[in-house]
Amino acid sequence: MMVGLQGAGKTTTTGKLANHLRKKHNRNPLLVAADVYRPAAINQLQTIGKQLDLPVYAKGTDANPVDIANEAIAEAKENHYDYVIIDTAGRLHIDGDLMGELQQIKENVQPDEIFLVVDAMTGQDAVNVAESFDEQLEVSGVVLTKLDGDTRGGAALSIKAVTGKPIKFAGMGEKLDQLEPFHPERMASRILGMGDVLTLIEKAQDSVDEKRAKELEEKMRSASFTFDDFLEQMGQVRNMGPLDELLDMIPGANKMKGLKNAQIDEKQISHVEAIIQSMTKKERQDPSLMNASRKRRIAKGSGTSVSEVNRLLKQFEEMKKMMKQMSNMQKGKKGKGMNFPFM
């Protein structure tokens, strides 16, 4: 049973949780649209269900939420769904009618878990909301949304201290796969600037082809890395999430020359991809073929300028040199600062 105030991200989190259960635990969940006061909430959950190819049980805005919850569980038993996730109504503030309805649903369906969804950006208000919901519903855990910035880790500490209830999950972005089990030691490590290697490894295992990654590594070591390889690797890395968040997970990245205070422009990454995709196969394999007319053609085809094409070519060569230097660091050689085409 998912509870929380309106606007905290409860409906989206319901979809994210179902997606997590299916992908990580091979479960077969049923989503339940029990917020009958806001038609947009029902439509939103149905849209999320279509995006994830997951079933949504909805009876419209005229049905009683308690009846919807009861009927959904009967539906789940009949069709062998192994999880039922009920998206309940929220308000802009806590009121008696809301809590009374939630208590009725709880008494009727007796959920195994009651997850309180809280917007981490609301700061101290998030703590007050958590305390009130816990007093009246006895929540079993908390899901913090919009925790994709490590400066808001204080909300997690305060909620745990006040309610004594564990934070089960953290929403790390808007996409439906950006829900992570909450690991307090990893959050503490991020806050202290010590990175989060375990989460980075998990993201890599989910997104990167290990065999192909080893092949690309060998190419980087030998400086035979091509634009095709770069495009492929950039796609794999982007599947792991926003690049600035990935950098935060690397221990000491905030102190490394070139990475300290680096600004990563996601739009610029798209420009880089467009430039590479406007090259011929031979040009991607051998950038030395580039002359003035080829550069003009590539700039026109990618909707960029010749100066941007020149900048990418220069930075690509610098990056190849840097990668080779990094592979030599084990031999005691010192590399230069990092300079990537999207920073």
Given a contact cutoff of 8 angstroms between Cβ atoms, the answer to whether 171 and 241 are in contact is: no
Classify residue 204 by its DSSP letter.
Answer: H
Contact by Cβ (8 Å): 120, 65: no
Q: Quote the tokens at residue 135.
A: 């007093």
Q: Which residue intervals of the chain are DSSP H helices?
A: 10-25, 39-52, 65-79, 96-109, 124-137, 153-163, 184-191, 197-207, 210-221, 227-238, 243-248, 266-277, 281-285, 292-302, 306-328
What radius of gyration, in Å, describes the C-alpha atoms of the chain?
25
Interhelix angle 65-79/96-109, nearest 10 degrees:
30
Q: Which residues contact 40 (CB under 8 A, 6 or more apart)?
A: none
* Predicted pLDDT at 56: 97
| The pLDDT of residue 173 | 80
- Taking the C-alpha atoms of residue 327 and residue 298, their distance in angstroms, rounded to an integer, is 32
User: Do residues 14 and 87 lie in contact, with contact meaning Cβ atoms separated by under 8 Å?
Assistant: yes
Give the Cβ contact number of residue 181 at 10 Å: 13
Which residues, given as ranges, of the chain have pLDDT below 70?
A: 148-154, 186-209, 212-213, 216, 220-223, 240-266, 326-343
Instruction: Please count the residues of the chain.
Output: 343
What is the rounded distance in angstroms from the CA atom of residue 225 to the CA atom of residue 316?
10
Q: Is 321 exposed, middle or buried (0-12, 13-18, 19+ CB in 10 A)?
A: middle
| Residue 312 to residue 320: CA distance in whole angstroms | 12
* Structural domains in the chain, sorted by start: 2-182 (3.40.50.300), 201-331 (1.10.260.30)
Task: Provide the pLDDT for residue 251.
Answer: 56
The verdict on pTM exceeding 0.85 is no
Opening angle at CA 15, ends 13 and 18, nearest 5? 110
Condensed to tens digits (0 to 9), the pLDDT of residues 249-289 reads: 665 555 554 544 555 666 778 888 899 999 999 999 888 89
pLDDT digits (tens, 9 = 90+) for 171-184: 888 889 889 888 77
pLDDT reported for residue 150: 47
Q: How confident is the model at residue 294, as a pLDDT?
A: 94
From residue 303, alpha-carbon distances to 14, 299, 315 in Å are 40, 6, 19
